[in-house]
Structures are given as structure tokens and as C-alpha cells.
Amino acid sequence: MTERTVVLIKPDGVKRGIVGQIISRFENVGLKIAAMKMIWIDKDFAAKHYPVSRKQWVESIGKRALETYKEYGRDLGEDLDTMEPYEIGKKMCKWLVEFLTSGPVVAILLEGENSINTVRKIVGHTFGDKAVPGTIRGDFTKARGYASFMSKRAGHNLVHASGNSEEAEFEEELWFKKNEIYSYKRLDEEMYLG
């Protein structure tokens, strides 16, 4: 099924000068760039991208943070003053807003068969130390899941990619106006799709 998904090259990816290398990975597998722009967003906009109102997701990132801490034998309460998953998630959202507004980002709308899943595979695991080689995060980041919490900031992992179709639809509408999205054929489309 042809679908669209949103990729953001976060400020760390832009500042490291690897925008081209990141975009190539998506182009190389045949995903089509339907829209693309560089934009330095403000905190209100970033808070829409990482909404604390998405309770289940906020709680889930808090929960996973607790698990990661346990795995490495560290005490999250010591670094964050709370052991409540939702409260941890809310703090993380605040840091994510700070991170996403710390420099320009490159926002890309990619289109292709099963693109949401494909892009997530190309991007790799959220934490650099768990992402396998060959993925963007696995090739360009090393940070452990808990490391950023010690300095009270979000993990720098180069890219955001929509996690599912609801996120993809919401993010497409948030980041792109209708007249910024282009419809055209890539040369290889006819070759593979007939």
C-alpha cells in the first residue's frame, strides 16, 4: 500500500553536516520525496509535534526509560526525582521540545509502498547503542538510552520518523501545507510497479 510518512532530520543531524547522507538512504531504497524543507520551529510548534496529551505514548516513553535504567543498573529516581512513568514522560517531552528548537530541522515527507515501516527500519532503534549497523542511528550514533538523562536532555538520535499511520497523518498535516506536497513519478516507479 502506498503511504506517506514524515521524517525530521533533528538539529544534531543538521549540525553534524550529514543531511545528505541521511536523505540518500531513503532515496536509495526508492522512497519518493513528496515534500521537503528546512525550518527552525518555535516551542509551541514543537509541543504540537510531541504532545503531552498523547498520554499513552508519554507514559510508554517514561516506562521504557525506567526499564532502560534498570537494565544498566542505574536509579532513574536519582536523576529525575520521580519514578512515575507519565511524569518521566512529561519531563522527556519538555526536553524534546528544547532539543527540537535548538536549531533548524529538515522536514521530509516520504512516499512509497509500506513507507512507514520501511523508514523505521532504515532509521533503527531509538538508542544509538541498540541500533544495528546499517541503520542511520546505528551508523552515526552511539549514545546509551540513559546517558542524556544525566544531563537532563533528550537523546540525540539524528532523526524522527512517524511511528504508525496515525502519527504519520497527524504529522503530515502539522508540518506540510497542501501546496508544499508534490505529485510526480520517480523514474524507477514504472520499472518496479509496472
Binding mask 1-40 for ligand IDP (x = CB under 6 A): ----------------------------------------
Cα dist from 118 to 25, 93, 110, 162, whole Å: 11, 26, 11, 11
Interacting residue with ligand IDP among 14, 23, 68, 116 (CB under 6 A) = 68
Count of C-beta atoms within a 10 Å radius of residue 95: 17
Binding mask 141-160 for ligand IDP (x = CB under 6 A): ----x--x-----xx-x--x
Asked if 51 interacts with Mg ion (CB under 5 A), we say no
Cβ nearer to ligand IDP, comparing 117 with 188: 117
Interacting residue with Mg ion among 77, 103, 134, 163 (CB under 5 A) = 163
Binding mask 38-67 for ligand IDP (x = CB under 6 A): -----------------------x--xx--
Q: How many residues bind to ligand IDP according to rule CB under 6 A?
A: 14
Rounded to an integer, what distance in angstroms lies between the CA atom of residue 43 and that of residue 49?
10
The verdict on whether 160 is a catalytic residue reads: yes
Rounded to an integer, what distance in angstroms lies between the CA atom of residue 47 and that of residue 12?
18
DSSP reduced 3-state for 5: strand
Instruction: Find the helix packing angle between 85-100 and 55-71, rounded to 10°.
Output: 100
Asked if 164 and 151 touch (Cβ cutoff 8 Å), the reply is no
Sign of CA dihedral 161, 47, 170, 20: negative
Cβ nearer to ligand IDP, comparing 35 with 88: 88
List contacts with ligand IDP (CB under 6 A).
61, 64-65, 68, 92, 96, 126, 145, 148, 154-155, 157, 160, 163
List contacts with Mg ion (CB under 5 A).
163
